[in-house]
Structure 1
């Protein structure tokens, strides 16, 4: 049995009904309730509505993650002036130390 024929058989098994046969939403929902539509996934065979639900959850998680990242960036942007000021103060302290060390060296030589 070739790989292609195995895939074809799997596809036939996967969709028990044609989507055209189930035009009304009620028919589709009852078919889903009877576990008609199943699809092979990495996690094994699952109902289509389960797959859709997990997709929705993943979308929500991604959305929340983006929101948290955006908030963090806004905080950083808000604190940027203070960060710059702190950086300048540190640099100034370093220069002051250098000058003091040089003055000390000149005094003691």
Structure 2
């Protein structure tokens, strides 16, 4: 999922490595994300975060729409512990493409020692 930054981190702890990847320096992070999409027909939407070298279904979003289609939305919050530098991504999977969609992603570094 492509992310466009609105506010960047001047400390360099949170950087955008590519349009789909956020690089995080070691530490604890509060991450909040919301995803919404519109589908013209029956579909499911699954958005899965990945960090520390693995996917995390437990903090993912799943939503299904009926045969007439409709809008799908979901949100999730997590505290990410990064013992070493890591990357954060959100991956979409579904049975079809959305005709419109939006992602809101907020990442805050916490003042907590590792």
For normalisation by structure 2, the TM-score amounts to 0.19
Higher strand share: 2
Structure with a larger share of its residues in helix: 1
The structure with the largest alpha-carbon Rg is: 1
